[in-house]
């Protein structure tokens, strides 16, 4: 992966959009980027589980969990599956669990925080839909750039 910093990308490309949330970087990859696959769900990670089982091809899963801090949308087993299947990372408007294991998994993971509680698997949610959170609308196929400074969204590839 090409090294980048989100501040430099924002300076070079004034049309990028910054997600206005304070994410924490939990994955072993301090920076990650790729084309976006979107998931919209609330306290049910069934669609996340299905997505990470597919070939990732360097893409990034952006999950709009509504900002819920009650149920983890990602845990160690799903993170390991995502890494094994070639996903670059996940950006989660929600929380995760198993942070010690995720921290050594070859994957980028940004989330709002942590909880020990898992979700119920009800099969609810939507995939590949336009989502909006943190002041940014995100369309499937756009590009995400994430590092310890924040998360940027661009309509076109910047690297």
Whether residue 110 contacts residue 23, with contact meaning beta carbons closer than 8 Å, is answered with yes
End-to-end Cα separation, the chain, in angstroms: 10
**From the annotation, which residues make up the binding site for Mg(2+)?**
98
Whether residue 101 contacts residue 76, with contact meaning beta carbons closer than 8 Å, is answered with yes
**From the annotation, which residues make up the binding site for substrate?**
75-78, 97
Q: Under 8 Å CB-to-CB from 60, ≥6 apart: which residues?
A: 32, 33, 34, 35, 36, 37, 87, 88, 89, 90, 91, 108, 144, 146
**Structure-token pair, residue 35:** 């084309």
**From the annotation, which residues make up the binding site?**
75-78, 97-98
């Amino acid at each position: 992966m090409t090294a980048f910093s989100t501040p430099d990308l924002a300076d070079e490309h004034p049309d990028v959009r910054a997600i206005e949330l304070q994410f924490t970087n939990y994955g072993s990859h301090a920076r990650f980027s790729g084309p976006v696959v979107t998931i919209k769900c609330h306290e049910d990670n069934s669609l996340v589980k299905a997505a990470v089982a597919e070939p990732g091809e360097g893409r990034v899963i952006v999950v709009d969990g509504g900002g819920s801090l009650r149920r983890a949308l990602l845990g160690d087993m799903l993170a390991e599956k995502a890494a094994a299947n070639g996903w670059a990372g996940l950006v989660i408007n929600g929380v995760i669990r198993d942070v010690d294991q995720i921290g050594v998994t070859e994957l980028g993971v940004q989330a709002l925080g942590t909880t020990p509680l898992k979700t119920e698997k009800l099969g609810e949610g939507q995939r590949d839909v336009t989502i909006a959170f943190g002041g940014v609308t995100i369309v499937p196929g756009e590009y995400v750039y994430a590092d310890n400074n924040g998360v940027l969204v661009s309509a076109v590839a910047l690297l």
